[in-house]
């Protein structure tokens, strides 16, 4: 059976999916090559090492789950609309694996990953803080609310990550958060 040509993006996507399911232990190049239907050597066409591959996975994940969410919410005119958009994205996505959990685990062993993890979490909380400030909230209160909201989200995701939630349940949840924490 002839091997297919696989793009760098396909390797990265496969890596993200595997990392979400089991962390770095799931990033076995031979197994990924078989899954992608290509030779192991195509991996080294794009990546100089497993470490550079892991770095690319994390950067791509950070772009998709943090920077892109922020950019997408910025198309909305008001801070209120942006907040609702971010909350819908946060609480509307389940069943995507445990990328953040495995990144946190990796960060315990390697300072470079701890720096990336902290950067992602700070970006997320700072963005919400700035939206809350735009709404007129005092900076210290905005910081506290964004911190609490992010940590609430981490627990909420852990509790619901295996569930397929209905859109109306997510909408009710976002409305409750807005009513009790944001717009009160």
- From 96, 18, 93, select the one nearest 53 (Cα to Cα): 18
- Phi, psi values for residue 15, rounded to 5°: -65, -45
CB distance 123 to 67 below 8 Å: yes
Instruction: State the Cα–Cα distance between residues 178 and 36, nearest whole angstrom.
Output: 43
Q: What are the tokens at 92?
A: 């509307």
What pLDDT shows up at residue 94?
66
Cα of 70 vs its chain's centroid, Å:
12
Q: What are the tokens at 89?
A: 């994205």
Q: What are the tokens at 44?
A: 């080294």
DSSP string for 1-34: -PPPP--HHHHHHHHHHHHHHHGGGG--HHHHHH
- From 83, 95, 158, 89, select the one nearest 128 (Cα to Cα): 83
Per-10-residue mean pLDDT of the chain, 184 residues long, equals 79 96 94 93 93 95 87 84 89 78 94 94 94 95 96 89 85 92 83
What pLDDT shows up at residue 50?
93
Residues in the chain: 184
DSSP string for 104-135: HHHHTT-HHHHHHHHHHHHHHHHHHHHHHHHT
What pLDDT shows up at residue 110?
93
pLDDT per position as a tens digit, 115-158: 999 999 999 999 999 999 999 999 999 999 999 999 999 998 88
What pLDDT shows up at residue 2?
56
Instruction: State the Cα–Cα distance between residues 144 and 172, nearest whole angstrom.
Output: 23
Q: What are the tokens at 9?
A: 């993006």
């Amino acid at each position: 059976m002839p091997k297919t040509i696989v793009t760098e993006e396909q390797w990265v996507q496969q890596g993200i999916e595997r990392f979400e399911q089991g962390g770095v232990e799931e990033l076995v190049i031979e197994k990924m090559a078989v899954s992608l239907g290509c030779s192991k050597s195509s991996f080294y066409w794009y990546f100089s090492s497993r470490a550079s591959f892991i770095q690319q996975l994390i950067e791509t994940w950070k772009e998709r789950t943090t920077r892109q969410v922020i950019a997408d919410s910025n198309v909305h005119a008001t801070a209120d609309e942006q907040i609702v958009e971010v909350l819908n994205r946060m609480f509307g996505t389940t069943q995507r694996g445990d990328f953040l959990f495995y990144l946190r685990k990796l960060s315990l062993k390697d300072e470079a990953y701890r720096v990336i993890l902290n950067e992602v979490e700070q970006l997320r909380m700072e963005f919400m803080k700035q939206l809350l400030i735009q709404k007129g909230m005092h900076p210290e209160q905005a910081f506290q609310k964004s911190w609490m909201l992010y940590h609430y989200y981490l627990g909420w995701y852990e509790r619901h990550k295996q569930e397929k939630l209905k859109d109306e349940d997510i909408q009710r949840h976002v409305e409750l958060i807005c009513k009790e924490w944001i717009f009160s």
